[in-house]
Chain A
Amino acid sequence: MFGDYSLGDLGAIFAMQGFAGLILFSVYVLMALGLAIIFGQMGVINMAHGEFMILGAYMTYLCSGFFQAHLPGLFPAYFFVAMAMAFLASGALGMLVEWALIRHLYKRPLDTLLATWGLSLILQQAYRSIFGAREVGVELPSWMMGSIQATGTIEIPINGLFVMAITVLITLMVAGLLFASRYGKQVRAVMQNRVMAGAVGIDTGRVDRLTFGLGCGIAGVAGAAFTMIGSTGPTSGQLYIVDTFLIVVFGGAASLLGTIASAFSISQTQSTLEFFLSGSTAKVITLLAVVAILMLRPQGLFTLKVRR
């Protein structure tokens, strides 16, 4: 199939294809990070994860409108404010949901599945009532669109670079928070043994609420970032939820490193196959591979060594 193309063309395409894989990897990590915290660390199956992401996207939409109307001079930089707002809004909603709903269900994990699925329907209809059933267009500052001309044929999309930068930043922050801070120790203690953690004086309720809020907040930031590459509508969150769970489960639920490894392998497989086969076939083969590996290794790629 490559007979007709010059060597230079091929080189350029492979470079861009590699980059496409990296962008997909960043998108997957960003999608899955929040869920890895909530599902991995707390064991809550949060079916409303996509809707928390879309809340972040809608915050970006509101910010873009606000800056255009009132602070047009600062418009090129509004996206950073929007991401902060997205984090705060989704995080606050997450903490509210944890307080009102989730904390009553920690002992009944399967019920959280139903409850959060119901929550996702409620949120979707709320978005529909507030923002309308149609998708909204989020206007981005012009510097974020377009591409960098690296060589004559290689073009690198700026928003791809931006997503990668955000992903690296947030992953480092989460890792730092979970593995190097006092709060992270508490989170891990609560996860491993809730009763014992309570007995040594950790306020488990507070840790749970903050952790759930953190996970939702990160989902919000992801949603804000995805306004660059995807749609913002009441049901757009549904587009991400399956892939997100797939990555977290494949990586091994409780392991942050597993999530990253799984996002990397799935994204590279997907983007390479997509190039050689058609889109739908690529998806089918990727899913088949994941199913096969999970059959051989039900606990996922990485697991924590815990005493059962």
Chain B
Amino acid sequence: MAENDLGLESALRRRLLMGLAVVPAAACLPRLALAAAPPTAAVNTTGLAVTDTEVTVGILHSVTGTMAISETGAQQAEKLAIEEINATGGVLGRKIKVIQEDGASDWPTFAEKAKKLLVNDKCAAVMGCWTSASRKAVLPVFEQYNGMLYYPTFYEGLEQSKNVIYTGQEATQQILASLDWVAKEKDAKTFFFIGSDYIWPRTSNKIARKHVENVLKGKVVGEEYFPLGHTQFNSVINKIKLTKPNVIFTDVVGGSNVAFYKQLKAAGIDLSKQVLMTISVTEDEIDGIGGENIAGAYACMKYFQSLKNPNNEKFVAAFKKMWGEKTVIGDVTQAAYLGPYLWKLTVEKAGSFDVDKVAAASDGIEFKGAPEGYVRIHPNHHLWSKTRVGRALPNGQFEVVYESADLIEPNPFPKGYQ
């Protein structure tokens, strides 16, 4: 087993380094892997949908409804990763078969479909969910039926489960380093917070406020929340003009973003002079906002499409080849791409598809082929990852202006920030 693991892992690494051009090496891999595939009875003792040649994995995202805007990229990345894994021999010699369900932007539907994927389809793992609300809806299902969920979105933290691997950043990972950066580089003392009114922006801003007040010794001069879908920001923009903060810190989501940045620009706030930092705008959102309307703003994320490293260049090329030249790749899309690979590496380390063994083996799994660079799973099931600050360019891409020196430890229950 161990030898087989090594063989696959090094082959994977080699393939990732050399890129897709190395066809002959890749082509002979499936046969090698198949020859060495361990018997099904040994790798599947709990009745999951695993045969001698196939293993079933679920994808659960919204393809219809409001959230389809955001979740499209995530499910595209997951399919790409799975296709790549299949092309290099699959997992423990088995090809991944995908069953996709539509959460339809409706949280009870997510729970129902999660149950279907686990109970009827016996999926060995599920890649899915986007909003915290959908994750909270499926969490009891995954815990009750002992499934494995790979969740891609950056989120507010305050959660940890044996049955979930969080491949996005939790709030402290995303926010703290970038606040430090803006305080140091832009000499920022006063902050104005604007968010959409639900759990993620409120929790994130709470963490940011504690950091600004207690660590940076700065001042929060305003904190405002607007209902989801709000489209009129003129009043709050006037308030910003009145309070003249050093930094506008935003976590507005969805269609509201478009309205916010267009009105900000129309009101004469020049983002090349006024520092604005967002934790909710990725390349995906800029598509709708329009690059010229947000150019100059800073975003803190762990991933930007413009990252310069061989893994990412290969990933971007493969993604565009599969889904079209015009598609853009945001932070969550990249995090979703990690899910299938992390699962594959964990299964191979555990030598089994059994959920308990996979959950136990997750701690310490490293993925060197991640487009964002090296990542590792923490015992708390979140990822060690770097934080980066990007400056929005008129063409809708980000220019990376800061990158944390080390991987930042995930800390979903931050002491002193709650």
Does B268 have its Cβ within 8 Å of any Cβ on chain A?
A: yes
Shortest Cβ gap from A16 to chain B (Å): 5
- A-B contacts besides A9-B242, A134-B287, A280-B227, 7 pairs, CB < 8 Å: A20-B235, A23-B232, A135-B258, A136-B287, A231-B256, A231-B288, A275-B238
**With A231-B258, A239-B255 in contact, do A138 and B290 touch (Cβ < 8 Å)?**
yes
Q: How far is the CA of A279 from the CA of B229 in the complex (A)?
A: 12
Nearest residue (CB) in A for B266 is: A157
**With A230-B255, A231-B259, A274-B235 in contact, do A133 and B69 touch (Cβ < 8 Å)?**
yes
Q: Which of B69, B241, B263 contacts A229 (CB 8 A)?
A: B263
Q: Which residues of chain B have C-beta atoms less than 8 A from A230's C-beta? A: 231, 255, 258-259, 262
Q: Which residues of chain B have C-beta atoms less than 8 A from A27's C-beta? A: 232
Shortest Cβ gap from B238 to chain A (Å): 5
Q: A236, B255: Cβ atoms under 8 Å? A: yes
Q: B288, A233: Cβ atoms under 8 Å? A: yes
Does A159 have its Cβ within 8 Å of any Cβ on chain B?
A: yes
Q: Which residues of chain B have C-beta atoms less than 8 A from A235's C-beta? A: 65-66, 69, 255
Q: How far is the CA of A139 from the CA of B262 in the complex (A)?
A: 11
Q: A146, B266: Cβ atoms under 8 Å? A: yes
Shortest Cβ gap from B131 to chain A (Å): 14
Shortest Cβ gap from B228 to chain A (Å): 9
Q: Which residues of chain B have C-beta atoms less than 8 A from A158's C-beta? A: 266
Does A228 have its Cβ within 8 Å of any Cβ on chain B?
A: yes
Give chain B's interface residue range (CB within 8 Å of chain A).
Answer: 35 or more
> What are some 14 contacts across the A-B interface (CB < 8 A)?
A5-B242, A13-B241, A16-B238, A19-B234, A23-B234, A135-B255, A145-B266, A145-B293, A146-B265, A230-B231, A235-B69, A236-B255, A278-B224, A279-B225
Does A188 have its Cβ within 8 Å of any Cβ on chain B?
A: no
B225-264 near A? 1/0 per residue, CB < 8 Å: 1110111101111110110000000000011111100110
- Interface Cβ pair total, 8 Å cutoff: 143
Q: Which of A137, A157, A279 contacts B287 (CB 8 A)?
A: A137
Q: Which residues of chain A have C-beta atoms less than 8 A from B69's C-beta? A: 133-135, 233-235
Nearest residue (CB) in B for A144 is: B266
A253-278 near B? 1/0 per residue, CB < 8 Å: 00000000000000000110011001
Does A86 have its Cβ within 8 Å of any Cβ on chain B?
A: no
Q: A155, B268: Cβ atoms under 8 Å? A: yes
Q: How many positions in chain A have a CB within 8 Å of any CB in the partner chain?
A: 52
Interface residues of B (CB under 8 A from A): 63-66, 68-69, 72, 197, 223-227, 229-232, 234-239, 241-242, 254-259, 262-263, 265-268, 284-293
Q: How far is the CA of A207 from the CA of B224 in the complex (A)?
A: 48
Q: Which residues of chain B have C-beta atoms less than 8 A from A228's C-beta? A: 262, 266
Shortest Cβ gap from A238 to chain B (Å): 7
Q: Which residues of chain A have C-beta atoms less than 8 A from B266's C-beta? A: 145-147, 157-160, 228-229
Nearest residue (CB) in A for B237 is: A20
Q: Which residues of chain B have C-beta atoms less than 8 A from A16's C-beta? A: 238, 241
Q: A20, B238: Cβ atoms under 8 Å? A: yes
Does A232 have its Cβ within 8 Å of any Cβ on chain B?
A: yes
Q: Which residues of chain A have C-beta atoms less than 8 A from B265's C-beta? A: 145-146
Q: Which of A134, A155, A240, A280 contacts B226 (CB 8 A)?
A: A280
Nearest residue (CB) in B for A17 is: B238
Q: A13, B238: Cβ atoms under 8 Å? A: yes
